Structure 1
Amino acid sequence: QGAGFSQSTLSAKAPGTLKAAQTTQSAAATSTGSLPTFGTQFHGMWSSYTDSKRAMVLDKLKANGVTTVRLDVSWAMLQPTSASFDNWGTDFVTRVLKMITDHGMDPMVMIWMTPSWVTGSSDSRIPPKGSAQLGQWETFLSQAAARFPQVKTWEVWNEPNHNDFMRGADPTVYAQVLASGYRGIKAGNPQARVVFAGTQFVDVPWIKKALAAGAAGKYDIMGVHPYMAVGNLSPNSPDDGTIWRMRHIPALRTAMLNAGEDKPMWFTEFGWRVGSIGSANWQLGVSQATQAKYLAETLRIVKTEWPYVTRVFWYRELADNNTTNSSGYGLITPKGTVKPALAQIPAIYAAG
């Protein structure tokens, strides 16, 4: 996968617990806030997409209230052999971005994947390390941010707390990747915003380590992927002190404030799968009706209890014809039918 949810390390019982959140929160919150901006993942760079399929999906998303999409883009594709931009890759990104902006949507780019000429390895999920490689990363991002001014927001890597996505999953290494990326993006486009990569689950201990290692002050928005490790649980399930519940979000907010980081938070991925792919906790799915219910519940919780969460991206936009883990998350079927979860969005946002 280019981005998204990988639970290869999860067992039927999610291991590990965290200290209970230091803040308490009323389950019956009475405050009324604003709904977060609603977006979805858009894997528009993937080889499974054709231009006609891109147009179909963007049409459906736009017609159903989606105003922003998260596009995963590879450094290794833009600069595959040297520090020069590849014409094919650059033109491809430019074309897909134009399709997004022509639909009136705001693209957020999640940038990752190191080219082999930087690390000497064909494994693009090895992050840049050391002053030379980090300098190449910083230079690349300064050039990319200047080259693609239509991108107002850049998310630096994907789920870096998981070895599937950033080899080693080292928070100290990520702090350097983020800091270098931040400097580069701001040099290339001072108005651009930088997002701390969404962690797989609400991984407060890992994020705290990254902040302490130099990530603090090197981002504008905190990203997080608050999936439920028991895949059919409601987002309203009580916080049990672990990273596996959406209601652990206030613990992340507390950790940020304790680090002096009073910044917005975005769910750069969240979602529920239609249909189970096994019997392990993380493999459990829901019905289309329950998927819609859980999405609406998430928006209600964010609106009434978490005003600092200002944007959410559902993972993912399109179900494909296979039984992979991520397919069932799609809001649009392979034939172009909009699932109830997406179809309800205009009414939810019209009601405010």
Structure 2
Amino acid sequence: MGKLSGRRQRLLVAVVAFVISAVATIVATDSPSAVAPSDSAPGSTSSAPAPAGGESGPAAAQASNGRQLHIGIAYGDTLTWKSDKDLAIGLDDAANSGAKWVRVDLSWKNIQPENSKHYEWQRFDRVVKAARDRKLEVLPTIAYTPAWARKAGCQGDDASCPPADPALFAAFAEDAAQRYAPMGVHTWEIWNEPNIPFWAPKPDPAAYTKLLEVTSKALRAADPKAYVLMGGLAAVGTNPEKAYVSQTDFLTEVSKLGANRMVDAISYHPYTYPDLPSARTTYGTAFEQISTAKDNLVAVLDKYGTPDLPIWLTETGAPTDGPGTAADGKSNAADTATHVTEEFQAAIATDTIPASAANRHVEAVFWFADQDAGTDKDRAHRSLFYGLRRYDGSPKPSLDAFGSAIAAYEKQQKQQKQ
């Protein structure tokens, strides 16, 4: 990916309003996917075709002129550990921004840390209840094997080691669906980024497909309304040295085994910084690799018989800190490929909504994350600085920008329907 100087970032921020206006015009005139938001969600029964897996159950709600764009915030495994006060602040950020969804980790190792007979649901119960009290839809990502269920000799940590027996993982998923379906949770993502070493020690399309097969069946057996997502694919290039398999190569391999017919949608994580999501480039940003770049996800789905399988962007965003970043968050570093300024993060947050809506294959988009997980001493770890808020809880410009982008999108859809 190319690099942008701090000066170019500032220039892009200055013209981003014009970019957004142009994208909005595309959404309003050319895209069949731009429709009014609705309280209906995957799991409701209105206008819902059967899941790709062939079971009875709904797909995402659709308006008459195309798919609805579901908008949310992805929190990872943070909300379960927050105080009641901080949990409320985090979920209020989603509700107040106009987002209707939250994506949270349903960590197997947190729920069954000791063995298959002992459960500790209470922390996740609290998150689901608080989200539903705010009329937020919950997307749990089921992953993260406890030590007792890991493959023997796995050298990864317990966040990445796959289960020794996929049936045990599926049994846990079935328990979760039985518990949370009555609370209105019907949408499930199975694992996170299985095309990089989040599946340790390296990606294994055949093993992941087996896990997906037994788990999707278990979820649908427990809840006929279950809507199942393939685990979010990281936007990377194939690199054997890093044990990376590109999103298209991995999707090709699992689709050969039928995985695309086991799910209702696939998930993808298109981080584009230092480019805007709507950027058009010669090398193809992660957003372009959804459907317009030479190597793209929709082409793979088309090849294996599911060209209209929806794509959920269950993570996207940009970090505002990194090596060499100034203490105030206004980058003075030359290497802006590792992070962006807070102002440019806000521009990316603004652009993410119309860029997602403009692609008819995209059904949902989630911003990662709500709050930074690191302080100045952690500056070298860019993964800790994706938040709409800083570590101390103070808002970044992106928090207002994200909410304003959602409001502009909703206003435009209402005008379009009139």
Q: TM-score scaled to structure 2, two decimals?
A: 0.70
Match of 2:270 in 1: 226
Match of 2:277 in 1: 235
SS in 1 for 2:219: helix
Do structure 1's residue 140 and structure 2's residue 172 form an aligned pair?
Answer: yes
Shift of 1:283: 4.9
SS in 2 for 1:330: coil
Do structure 1's residue 349 and structure 2's residue 409 form an aligned pair?
Answer: yes
2:382 to 317, 322, 325: 325
Match of 1:37 in 2: 70
Q: Deviations over 1:139-170 (max 9, x none)?
A: 22112111111321110000111114543211
Match of 1:78 in 2: 111
1:265 to 311, 322, 328: 311
Q: What CA distance in whole angstroms lies between the structure 1 residues aligned with 2:249 and 2:281?
A: 15
2:195 to 156, 161, 166: 161
* Paired residue type of 1:98: K
Q: What CA distance in whole angstroms lies between the structure 2 residues aligned with 1:280 and 1:74?
A: 38
Q: What CA distance in whole angstroms lies between the structure 1 residues aligned with 2:335 and 2:301?
A: 29
The answer on whether the counterparts of 1:179 and 1:214 sit within 8 Å (CA) in structure 2 is no
SS in 2 for 1:110: strand
The answer on whether the counterparts of 2:314 and 2:366 sit within 8 Å (CA) in structure 1 is yes
Q: What CA distance in whole angstroms lies between the structure 2 residues aligned with 1:238 and 1:178?
A: 34
Shift of 1:249: 0.7
Match of 2:289 in 1: 248
Shift of 1:106: 0.5
Aligned pair count reads: 320
Cα 1:164/1:43, change in 2 over 3 Å? closer
The gaps in structure 1 that reach 5 residues or longer are: 1-9, 13-26
2:365 to 293, 296, 312: 312
Q: What CA distance in whole angstroms lies between the structure 2 residues aligned with 1:297 and 1:104?
A: 25
Q: What CA distance in whole angstroms lies between the structure 2 residues aligned with 1:45 and 1:287?
A: 24
The answer on whether the counterparts of 2:81 and 2:123 sit within 8 Å (CA) in structure 1 is no
Q: What CA distance in whole angstroms lies between the structure 1 residues aligned with 2:210 and 2:282?
A: 32
Shift of 1:312: 0.5
The answer on whether the counterparts of 1:204 and 1:255 sit within 8 Å (CA) in structure 2 is yes
Shift of 1:80: 2.2
Shift of 1:211: 1.2
Q: What CA distance in whole angstroms lies between the structure 2 residues aligned with 1:319 and 1:210?
A: 34
Q: What CA distance in whole angstroms lies between the structure 2 residues aligned with 1:126 and 1:282?
A: 32
Do structure 1's residue 340 and structure 2's residue 394 form an aligned pair?
Answer: no
Q: What CA distance in whole angstroms lies between the structure 2 residues aligned with 1:31 and 1:338?
A: 35
Match of 2:349 in 1: 295
2:320 to 268, 274, 298: 274
Match of 1:179 in 2: 213
Q: What CA distance in whole angstroms lies between the structure 2 residues aligned with 1:174 and 1:289?
A: 39
SS in 1 for 2:86: helix
Q: What CA distance in whole angstroms lies between the structure 1 residues aligned with 2:288 and 2:271?
A: 10
Q: TM-score scaled to structure 1, two decimals?
A: 0.82
Query: Which has the higher mean CA deviation after the structures are superposed, 159-168 or 109-118?
Result: 159-168
Match of 1:213 in 2: 257
Match of 2:127 in 1: 96
1:195 to 206, 229, 234: 229
SS in 2 for 1:299: helix
Q: What CA distance in whole angstroms lies between the structure 1 residues aligned with 2:265 and 2:198?
A: 23
* Paired residue type of 1:139: A
Shift of 1:94: 0.8
Shift of 1:282: 7.9
The answer on whether the counterparts of 1:237 and 1:245 sit within 8 Å (CA) in structure 2 is no
Q: What CA distance in whole angstroms lies between the structure 2 residues aligned with 1:197 and 1:346?
A: 25
Structure number with greater Rg is 2
Q: What CA distance in whole angstroms lies between the structure 1 residues aligned with 2:280 and 2:256?
A: 28
The answer on whether the counterparts of 2:374 and 2:385 sit within 8 Å (CA) in structure 1 is no
Match of 2:138 in 1: 107
Q: What CA distance in whole angstroms lies between the structure 2 residues aligned with 1:170 and 1:277?
A: 33
Query: Which has the higher mean CA deviation after the structures are superposed, 232-241 or 285-294?
Result: 232-241
Q: What CA distance in whole angstroms lies between the structure 1 residues aligned with 2:335 and 2:363?
A: 29
Q: What CA distance in whole angstroms lies between the structure 2 residues aligned with 1:334 and 1:45?
A: 12
Cα 1:164/1:196, change in 2 over 3 Å? closer
Q: What CA distance in whole angstroms lies between the structure 2 residues aligned with 1:257 and 1:99?
A: 40
Cα 1:148/1:281, change in 2 over 3 Å? farther
The answer on whether the counterparts of 1:45 and 1:96 sit within 8 Å (CA) in structure 2 is no
The gaps in structure 2 that reach 5 residues or longer are: 4-22, 36-67, 237-246, 325-332, 413-418
Alignment root-mean-square deviation, CA? 2.7
Q: What CA distance in whole angstroms lies between the structure 2 residues aligned with 1:190 and 1:128?
A: 25
Shift of 1:280: 9.2
Q: Deviations over 1:56-99 (max 9, x none)?
A: 1212321121211100121122222322242xx21111111111
Query: Which has the higher mean CA deviation after the structures are superposed, 202-211 or 41-50?
Result: 41-50
